[in-house]
Amino acid sequence: MPQVTRRTVLTAGVAAAGVVVEPTIAVEAPATAAAKKPSLEMNVNGKVSRLGIDSRTTLLDALRDHLHLTGTKKGCDQGQCGACTVLVDAERVVSCLTLAVAAQGKRVQTIEGLAEPGGKLHPMQQAFIDQDAFQCGYCTPGQIMSAVACVAEGHAKTDEDIREYMSGNLCRCGAYPKIVAAIKQARGQMEQG
Ligand code: FES
Ligand code: FES
């Protein structure tokens, strides 16, 4: 008498139920992500670079992870804190919510590109130092880039304006009064220059 095992019972049961067991189908592996990465040309701080990156890459990740410009900070990564603020064609954007491809053909400026080539600090950078407008400094690159645009937009005429138009840049250290003082200091120099 043939030996009855768990396997033979299961096989018989499957056959009786009319279940057709499909052979395993070999699925061709998808092309590697690297092969699909488009080539992207970016002008950052006046230097043009060509990057092979996924089209879903944010501008923030392109700057930090691919161009190694780590001055731009990642805070919330959700568009809420302003730590990642950079300028695109002189307008401030939160780079965590901006795709790198959207910056193609435009001029991106980060905190690394603010000082003069000889190293002289931008008036806004100098003012943040003079006014001691930071504590931990994590929000500072975003604050400075936003402040530069705030003055250029003409939105730094009064303390109230500065607070309103800088409200997208949060500082968990609460350095706000000194940030306002720094912007007022730099405003005078920027308007003269
Ligand atoms: S990291 Fe972009 S807004 Fe917070
Ligand atoms: S200086 Fe610390 S978060 Fe602004």
In the prediction, which pLDDT does 105 show? 93
13 has a pLDDT exceeding 90:
no
pTM flag (> 0.85) = no
The ligand minimizing its distance to the Cα of 94 is 1
The most distant pair of C-alpha atoms in the chain lies apart, rounded to whole Å, by 104
Give the separation between CA 165 and CA 21, rounded to whole angstroms.
Answer: 66
From the CA of 79, give the closest atom in ligand 1.
3
7 has a pLDDT exceeding 80:
no
The ligand minimizing its distance to the Cα of 80 is 1
Query: Cα-flanking dihedrals φ and ψ of residue 166, to 5°?
Result: -105, 10
The confidence band for 9, taking pLDDT boundaries of 50, 70 and 90, is very low
CA 164 – ligand 2 centroid, Å:
18
From the CA of 135, give the closest atom in ligand 2.
1
Q: What's the N-to-C CA distance of the chain in angstroms? A: 102
Give the separation between CA 184 and CA 31, rounded to whole angstroms.
Answer: 54
CA 127 – ligand 2 centroid, Å:
16
Cβ of 84 below 6 Å from ligand 1: yes
Contact 95, 104 (CB under 8 A): no
Contact 125, 146 (CB under 8 A): no
In this prediction, residues 164-172 reach a mean pLDDT of 98
Q: Using one digit for the tens of pLDDT, what is the confidence trace for 153-167?
A: 999 999 999 999 999
From the CA of 137, give the closest atom in ligand 2.
1
Give the separation between CA 41 and CA 51, rounded to whole angstroms.
Answer: 6
Q: Using one digit for the tens of pLDDT, what is the confidence trace for 22-70?
A: 444 444 445 554 445 778 999 999 999 999 999 999 999 999 999 999 9
Give the separation between CA 36 and CA 61, rounded to whole angstroms.
Answer: 18
Q: Using one digit for the tens of pLDDT, what is the confidence trace for 65-91?
A: 999 999 999 999 999 999 999 999 999
CA 96 – ligand 2 centroid, Å:
18
Strand order from edge to edge, sheet including 47-52: 47-52, 39-44, 107-109, 85-88, 91-94
The confidence band for 191, taking pLDDT boundaries of 50, 70 and 90, is confident
CA 108 – ligand 2 centroid, Å:
24
Q: Candidates 146, 172, 180: which one to mutate for ligand 2, based on the most atoms within 8 Å of Cβ?
A: 172
* Ligand 2 shell residues, CB under 6 Å: 134-140, 171-173, 175
More confident position, 180 or 2: 180
Q: Could you tell me what percent of the chain has a pLDDT over 70?
A: 81
Give the separation between CA 149 and CA 166, rounded to whole angstroms.
Answer: 10
